[in-house]
Structure 1
Amino acid sequence: MNSILKTYFYLLVLAFISTTSCTNAQEQAASVQVLARSLENKVLLRWAVDQPYEWKQANDYGFLIERATISRNGEAVIPIERQMLVSSPLKPKPQEEWIELANNDQNVAVLAQALFGKSFKTTAPSKGVLGNITAVNNELEQRFTFGLLAAEQSFDGALLAGWAFEDSKINANEKYVYKISVALTPESKIKINEGSTFAGSSLFEELPKPIGVTGSFKDNKVELSWNFDLLSSFYTSYQVERSENGSSFYKMNKAPIFNATNTEGNSTNTMFYADSIPNNIPFYYRIKGKTAFGEIGPASEIISGSAIKSLGFAPRISKKEIPDDYTAILHWEFKEEDNKLIKGFELKRSNKVDGPFATVQKDIPPNSRKTTFKNLQRINYFTIVAIGKNGVESPSFATIVQPVDSIPPMPPKNLNGVIDTTGILTLTWEKNIEQDLGGYRIFRAFSLNQEFSEITNKTHYKEEFIDTVKIKNLNTKVYYKIQAEDQRYNRSKFSEIITITLPDLTPPSSPVLKQYEVVEKGVKLKWIPSSSKDVASHSIYRKRSNEDNTLWQIVLETNNLKDTLFINELDSEPNTYSYLILAKDSTGLESKPTRPLNVTYRGSKITKEDIKFDGFVNRELRYINLSWKIKNQDVFEYRLYKGKDENNLKVYKTFNSSVKNYNDVTLTINTSYTYALQVIAKNGSISEMKKIELKY
């Protein structure tokens, strides 16, 4: 068995690095990790314990499989139907049952060695690979890692190890939850969490084609690449197939191809495969994926091409001349004896050293060693490309050409700034479009009457700048302007100045309640406004003094800072009110409120306009009918006055508040009478007399 292990493909050594769970998971409780593949007529299950020590113990105890039927014909199964799928725990098969399969499948041989071998040693094929296996620090971890890896490449091997199961007794109209647990005994001192997965034939889906397959054909070789990350939930390894005619393909890799690095935090998602092939002969390639259940997926799209012999040499730009600001003369070196191998040269230009390069001159003769280019930009990167007669291009290294530059960039535009209450100020602006832009310089001042100071001691490269400003100072504003700078340190004119108002953390001074007066309609208030310069409004609040839990209600908010007088109209009922006034500045900060002012209001007086008083003379029945009505008042009593004229009125009758009319029968014929009605309100106020004159 050891000899078979030694011949196992060395990519297994690299793959150990991807199994970082054996070290990271030691900080957590061990668990059974489960995979399922739903097919049309069966469900395939694969599982493994995720920590080395518990993995070894689980192989001794064995595994139990419970299936729960949770759905039938689209409806929940209540209660859930549970069934144990094995009569005894699944354990590795006896060694003799492994021999035939191990002789034909090296993955099974490695798995058997990991489970039954007296020793387990790995050999790195090269120094570079050896550096990647430093994490394999003991034999148990080696057995654990290589055993799981081998089982992932062979579903038959996983079945022999007791790490896989085929459930063929399923119904198409049902869905299941499978639970895999270790058959621990009550005396066991280890803990291994069970694992579960969801499956059912309705969840079957066809395996996808590998995607993103590309081929780069070079001198005597081809480099294939494809995206493995997008299909990592389907495939654990891949195989490469090649054909010389595009129809008959054969497998190239003897061992599986898989990702041998930990993808967490790794930006790459591409897998590579290189094949050596002769030049000028077409070859065809396709990729197939393999699942953890041994299924081979459909082939990818076919990639074809031919390797082409490279020139093996390249031009070298040896000299450059700049006769004026718009012209460059480039000289290069190239072996004269190699002129016969090329069709000529091309000149390519870019704004950046890493391209992209665009062809600016074509069909330069093979014997030429210099060329002239006009229309230089501020920055120019050039490369000379030798074009082989076989179509292969051989470029020189890029070289920079810069004419004498005394033209500064344009001033930056759209300068904006925001500041928070801690004094952190962020400036942003529109990026300059000059190709040779070097960066920016930022200047600041706290007054337009003082000189701006540069606050960048070196070139600033971003279109954002963070500054810190002291909020508590005598200045209320800060000013900024910036310059753009090119790579030759030519500076632009200043941008437009931006003014930023500093956050106001100081509330305004309090106003003063100067005077009050109780008037007929309510309370008249006078105040002295806040003396702060940034006051935006004044607000008056009121509440009833006898209601301690009542919230203060705003009765006036005025933005007119010249307002100093306000009459608060009140109801007719007497009450005691509390008033206070405060100021608010432009940022919303409020002053301390004034001390509450308590005002007693005895209610509004009843005027003659509030009283409707009428009389009607009935000579036949010999009486005068008097009626009255009071507008919106709480009346205590009415007083009726009577006299021959208004100068001789005397109290005639008094009535309670429910009486609204009276018939006077104490009368003399052909006599004029003057009546007056006076209202006494419940708040104690007495109205003026409302008079009428009637002749009987």
Structure 2
Amino acid sequence: MSPLSTSLVTATRSCLLIGLLSVFAMLLPTHTDAQVNIPGPPNGRTGPTIYVVGRAQPTRNVLRWFPSSPAVWQQANVYGYEVIRFTLVKEGRDSANVNAMMNDIMIDSVQYFLTNRTVLGGGKAIKPPTNAGWVRYINKRTPYHAMIADHTMKGSLAAQNSPTKKDTVSVNDHYGAALWGASFSFAAAQVAGLGITDSTVKKGTRYLYTIRTLVPTKILRVTEGHILLTAGEAEPLPAVQDLSVLFADKRAGLLWNYRKLESSFNSYTIERATDSIRYRQISSMPVTNLTPDSDSMSRYSDSLANNETVYYYRVRGSTIFQELGAPSNMVKGRGVPPLPPVRVTGTMIDTTRARLNWTFPEALNSKIKGFVIRRSAYVDSNFVEFTKVLPITQRTIIVDSVYDATYYSVAVLNREGYAIPSFPTLVQLADSIPPAAPRV
């Protein structure tokens, strides 16, 4: 086995690809500072296309692009991409560039001119390295480098085979896996020819980027992609506002709505602290929704060392450029130890009052908030809570009886306030009237 193959096997085993995302549905929302009237297919366009997203950061602009189909991806891996940057100026605003002005475009009903055409990437085609060229990135970077390398090479091999149905399925899988991996590592995406960093920008200057493939049109005609960014105007990233937590025995379950922020983030990181100050990331891999739920909620389960320590949690969204959003609202709590059932007995004192007694280990009083009493005329439904929270030391109570036969349940409240009800017990007046004597 070659050194590259050995490295790939070792590295890819460390990255568990549970399933493939619908990449475009998650990543295509873009961050631009205006809508640009550029000739090309309208929204909802079909056919071979390059989709582009980008972010203006304090000292640089970062770009990612997505080939719309396996065929575009395969051919672009061979021929590469070209990224062209134009500087935007208003007519007469920069007289030194008048002679260099190119075609004009409309942005928010204002006419601009494109100047200073620059080909990024040193004028070379932007594409993934050859098979041997991947070696330097394997095991030394993120596991996503290995994933993308593996699927890029296998996708190329599949393309060289005869175009059978099996080969087509294989290429689709490699295409989806490679783009999925690239969405969680901007560094790996750049190696794979799917992104670029432009550090030669001037703050406050508006730039139009055009990304196109260098695939000959006789092989495949691909519509180029565009994006407009203003250097230095970093758009603030939002924070999750609805984080909640539910504690169980040595476990914490986090819940938040990912649908609200899917135009900003494609994954999340989980942070935990034991002092509400020094948070550390506990999710070793990005948390994302491989199988989105109909309720639009993301879930994360954390194991706790014990049920006594108070744990603080927050989550932060992450973009496809691995920028972290602001921390979410903080949630906290402790693990909830399992509680034994409450055992209840009851007797009628008179026709209107009943005495209830229950047992619960006194050694566990510190683990609970108290008790509440519920009653119903039915054994399996319509129980109504009719007392306030009773002290943790209380084990008996006298209550008014409202039914001829009443079912009572005593619920113990754990530290989180969750009620764990006992089995119902029936309390009714003793039948002291003997039956009528039989008639002869």
Task: Report the Cα offset of residue 96 of structure 1.
Answer: 4.8
| 2:390 counterpart residue number | 363
1:454-487: CA deviations, max 9, x gaps?
A: xxxxxxxxxxxxxxxxxxxxxxxxxxxxxxxxxx
2:228 is aligned with what amino acid? F
Q: CA deviation at 1:293?
A: 1.1
- Residue 282 (structure 1) aligns with: 310
Deviations 1:101-134 (A, max 9, x none): 331310111111111248999xxxxxxxxxxxxx
Is 1:254 aligned to residue 284 of structure 2?
A: yes
Q: What residue number does 1:308 align with?
A: 336
Q: Which has the higher helix share?
A: 2
Alignment of 1:87-98 (within 5 A): 87-98=123-134
Q: Percent identity?
A: 23
Whether the aligned pair in 2 keeps the contact of 1:213 and 1:226 (CA below 8 Å) is yes
Residue 242 of structure 1: CA displacement?
Answer: 2.1
Query: Could you tell me how far apart the structure 2 residues matched to 1:320 and 1:71 are?
Result: 89
| Residue matched to 1:58 | 76
Structure 2 counterparts to residues 377-392 of structure 1, below 5 A:
384-387=410-413
Once residues 199 and 397 of structure 1 are traced to their aligned partners in structure 2, the CA distance between those partners, rounded to angstroms, is: 64
Q: 1:346: Cα distance to partner? A: 1.4
Determine whether 1:43 maps to 2:61: yes
Is the 8 Å Cα contact of residues 279 and 306 (structure 1) preserved in structure 2?
Answer: yes
Query: Is the CA contact 1:40–1:204 (under 8 Å) kept in the aligned structure 2?
Result: yes
1:115 corresponds, among 124, 149, 152, to: 152
C-alpha deviation, 1:175, in angstroms? 2.0
Q: Secondary structure at 1:230's aligned position in 2?
A: helix
Deviation string 1:544-569 (CA, Å, 9 cap, x unpaired) is: xxxxxxxxxxxxxxxxxxxxxxxxxx
TM-score (norm 2): 0.69
Equivalent residue runs for 1:49-448 within 5 Å? 49-72=67-90, 76=110, 78-81=112-115, 83-86=117-120, 87-103=123-139, 104-117=141-154, 138-188=169-219, 190-201=220-231, 203-262=233-292, 267-277=294-304, 278-313=306-341, 336=359, 338=361, 341=364, 345-348=371-374, 359-360=386-387, 362-363=389-390, 367-368=395-396, 371-374=399-402, 384-387=410-413, 393-396=419-422
Q: Provide the C-alpha distance between the structure 1 equivalents of 2:355 and 2:327, rounded to a whole number of angstroms.
A: 50
**Aligned in 2, Cα 1:44/1:330: closer, same or farther, shift over 3 Å?**
farther
Q: Secondary structure at the match of 2:390?
A: strand
Contact 1:238 1:288 in 2 (8 A): yes
Instruction: Quickly say closer, same or farther: Cα 1:310–1:53, change in 2 above 3 A.
Output: same
Distance apart, 1:44 and its partner CA: 0.6
Residues 269 and 385 of structure 1: CA distance in aligned 2, closer, same or farther (over 3 Å): same
Give the 3 Å change call, closer, same or farther, for CA 372–281 of structure 1 in structure 2: same
Cα distance change on mapping 1:359 and 1:88 into 2, 3 Å: farther
What per-residue deviation string (whole Å, max 9, x for no partner) do you get for residues 31-75 of structure 1? 211101012332110001122232212222211222343445799
Aligned residue type for 1:37: R
Deviation, 1:295, is: 2.0
Shift of residue 95, structure 1, vs aligned partner = 4.3
Aligned counterpart, 1:648: none
The letter of the residue matching 1:13 is I
Counterpart Cα distance in 1 of 2:407 and 2:297: 31
Change (3 A) 1:186 1:193: closer
* Unmatched 5+ stretches in structure 2: 1-7, 27-44, 94-106, 159-166, 426-440
Give, in whole Å, the separation in 2 of the partners of 1:312 and 1:261. Answer: 36
TM-score (norm 1): 0.45
Counterpart for residue 13 of structure 1? 18
Residues 242 and 329 in structure 2, CA contact (< 8 A), matched pair in contact too: no
Q: Distance in 2 between matches of 1:88 and 1:6?
A: 33
> Cα gap change, 1:237/1:17 in structure 2, threshold over 3 Å: closer, same or farther?
closer
Distance across 2 between alignment mates of 1:55 and 1:373 = 75
2:11 is equivalent to residue 4 of structure 1: yes
Give the counterpart letter for 2:22 in structure 1.
S
SS in 2 for 1:13: coil
Contact 1:31 1:195 in 2 (8 A): yes
Shift of 1:171: 3.0
Distance 1:297-1:273 versus aligned 2 partners, 3 A rule: same
Change (3 A) 1:394 1:57: same
Does the CA-based 8 Å contact 1:341-1:388 persist in structure 2?
no
Distance 1:393 1:148, change over 3 A: same
Aligned residues: 366
Q: CA offsets per residue over residues 333-387 of structure 1, 9 Å max, x none?
A: x6x574764586412479xx999975535539865599545499xxx99853124
User: Are the counterparts in 2 of residues 21 and 51 from structure 1 also a CA contact under 8 Å?
Assistant: no
In structure 2, distance between residues paired with 1:314 and 1:137? 62
> Over alpha carbons, which structure has the higher Rg?
1
Do the aligned residues in 2 keep the contact of 1:18 with 1:261 (CA within 8 Å)? no
The alpha-carbon distance between structure 1 residues 217 and 163, as it changes in their structure 2 partners (threshold 3 A), is same
Residues 356 and 139 (structure 1 numbering): CA distance in 2 closer, same or farther, change over 3 Å? Answer: farther
> Taking structure 1 as reference, are residues 109 and 354 closer, same or farther at Cα in structure 2, changes over 3 Å only?
farther
**Within-5 A mapping of 1:483-494:** none
State the match for 1:555 in structure 2. none
Deviations 1:150-180 (A, max 9, x none): 1111111111111111222323343233221
CA contact (8 A) 2:356 2:396 kept: no
Q: Identify the structure with bigger relative contact order (alpha carbons < 8 Å, sequence gap 6+).
A: 2
CA displacement at 1:13 relative to structure 2: 2.0
Q: Could you tell me whether the CA contact under 8 Å between 1:102 and 1:109 is conserved in 2? A: yes
Match of 1:34 in 2: 52
RMSD (Å) for aligned C-alpha atoms = 4.4
Task: Classify 1:358/1:13 alpha carbon distance in 2 versus 1 (closer, same or farther; 3 Å).
Answer: same
Residue of structure 1 in register with 2:42 after alignment: none
User: After superposition, what is the alpha-carbon deviation per residue over 1:601-660, rounded to whole angstroms, capped at 9, x for unaligned?
Assistant: xxxxxxxxxxxxxxxxxxxxxxxxxxxxxxxxxxxxxxxxxxxxxxxxxxxxxxxxxxxx
